[in-house]
A and B are shown apart, each in its own frame.
Chain A
Amino acid sequence: DAKTTQPTSMDCAEGRAANLPCNHSTISGNEYVYWYRQIHSQGPQYIIHGLKNNETNEMASLIITEDRKSSTLILPHATLRDTAVYYCIVRVAESGGSNYKLTFGKGTLLTVNP
């Protein structure tokens, strides 16, 4: 799986949009970008994933650059409960081999401030 690079930490004001960047310059054509988050003392939680088109769900939006070498997770109206470590993971979304694995990097600690 391609490696990802994320900032160690970010701050965001409550009610504002939080934009979390991720670099994955060595991503392969069949690799998807996944985002998970882990609130303190809880298990990780799936947020969203995408291949090359922008994706949106009830939690967040995912913007992937045209060359697919980077992406941004957007939380449109951050709340205090969004304070967590956010993990960007690149993963092949095909059955078989080691494709089941989630290989977590260090992630970004997002702190939402009142």
Chain B
Amino acid sequence: DAMVIQNPRYQVTQFGKPVTLSCSQTLNHNVMYWYQQKSSQAPKLLFHYYDKDFNNEADTPDNFQSRRPNTSFCFLDIRSPGLGDAAMYLCATSRWTAGAEQYFGPGTRLTVT
């Protein structure tokens, strides 16, 4: 089945140690999104790619970066994770058509020790 895949499902990193989360999709969607969801909170958009065009949300910290080497893959890099970055990170995709629904992966739960 076509889907959005996130690896790993659980990631533990140390305070200040860079970490990369990955997302891949088989839907051939041209838009990919990264959301952060902290415990008991709603998902919050960090940034998205329309094809190779990167769009950062205004309040996304500089500590968060992203790469999209091709249509299928997108990476979230956290340069120096702090304890406050512990969260579920959700990848989503959609077509770039008016009102297209977003398809979410299962998420990667990041723990910072």
Do A and B associate with each other? yes
Chain A residues proximal to chain B, CB less than 8 Å: 32, 34, 38, 41-46, 49, 87, 91-95, 99-107
CB atoms of A44 and B31 under 8 A apart: no
| Majority secondary structure of chain B interface residues (helix, strand, loop or mixed) | strand
Tell me, rounded to whole Å, the shortest Cβ–Cβ distance linking A67 to chain B.
Answer: 21
Extra pairs beyond A41-B107, A99-B99, A100-B96 (19, CB < 8 Å): A32-B99, A42-B106, A43-B4, A43-B90, A43-B105, A43-B106, A44-B90, A44-B92, A46-B102, A49-B99, A87-B42, A91-B99, A94-B98, A94-B99, A95-B98, A100-B31, A100-B48, A104-B42, A106-B42
Within B21-50, the residues touching A (CB, 8 Å) are 31, 33, 42-45, 48, 50
Chain B residues proximal to chain A, CB less than 8 Å: 4, 31, 33, 42-45, 48, 50, 90-92, 94, 96-99, 101-107, 109
In the bound assembly, the distance between CA atoms of A38 and B88 in angstroms comes to 13
Q: Which residue of B lies closest to A104 (CB)?
A: B42
